[in-house]
Amino acid sequence: MATKGEQFAGLSVAIVTPFQDGEVDYAVLGEQIEFQVAAGTNCLCPVGTTGESPTLSHDEHERVIAFVCETAAGRIKVMPGTGSNSTAEAISLTKFAEQAGADAALQVAPYYNKPTQQGFYEHYKALAEESGIPQCIYNIPGRTGKNIEPETIARLAELENIDLVKEATGSMDQASAIISSTNLTVLSGDDSLTLPLMSIGARGIISVVGNIVPQDMIALLTAFEAGDLKKAQRLHQQLFPLCRNMLGLSTNPIPVKAAMKMLGRDPGELRLPMTALTESDEALLRDTLAEYGLLEPATA
């Protein structure tokens, strides 16, 4: 049985949405796209969790998708976030993305209203039937409030256009169940779990830290695929403090936006209810970037 969604194996980067004076900064967004193209990243994932999609208006959400697809111009794949806790809204946004030229759609599990497993199934089934592009099930119960169980994902895997899973449950057992029972391409949804998940059959990562060091994440994936486990382990250990603090110091994308600013790639402000890092966490982040070799160490 052929693996579905294999073209999305490798590094996808969940890019941030830059804001300036309350508006989307398309010039900086264009710079981000060029940065990832130059790095050799396989796919861009705009307007997801990292892209602050909950604070974008519907018009902004569509405009960002259209801009990324147009700027990418086939040089890099585009898998925008088009999910919603309203099935009709998710279908509408997914159809827009398809018409704009997106290669796939990242579909977060319906949040807040906590569907039954049958509700999840019917939601994704409707998306698969209404769209002609691959759908990536984005399972992140820590944000949505409910897990899509492996049995439900196995049922969905039988449908045309359900090709991928972004696995962000943190459960190796759940990932193992999906990998062993389906032909879906599983992508890690947690940077620090990329290598462990690859070891059980995942095929890549939708990455936050890839906003900063995409080449290093590509090197890890390439080493593992080449069978060089020692090199992959070394890269995992090197990346781990950065991965941990990108998602551990504060809610994503607060730390990654702060890090990008420190590295001279300022993505502007956050939108409420997202707020900036505290001074102490900013200092910890700066130390992490310095230890990684991305910044000069602070002088006493």
| Residues with catalytic roles | 138, 166
How far apart CA 156 and CA 166 sit, in angstroms, is: 14
Give CA 56 to chain center in angstroms: 17
Closest CA to 194 of 207, 183, 184: 207
DSSP the chain: -PPBTGGG-EEEE-----EETTEE-HHHHHHHHHHHHHHT-SEE--SSTTTTGGGS-HHHHHHHHHHHHHHHTTSSEE--B---SSHHHHHHHHHHHHHHT-S-EEEEPP-SS---HHHHHHHHHHHHHH-SS-EEEEE-HHHHSS---HHHHHHHHTSTTEEEEEE-S--HHHHHHHHHH--BEEEESSGGGHHHHHHTT--EEEESGGGT-HHHHHHHHHHHHTT-HHHHHHHHHHHHHHHHHHHHSSSTTHHHHHHHHHTT---BPPPTT--PPPHHHHHHHHHHHHHHTSSPPPP-
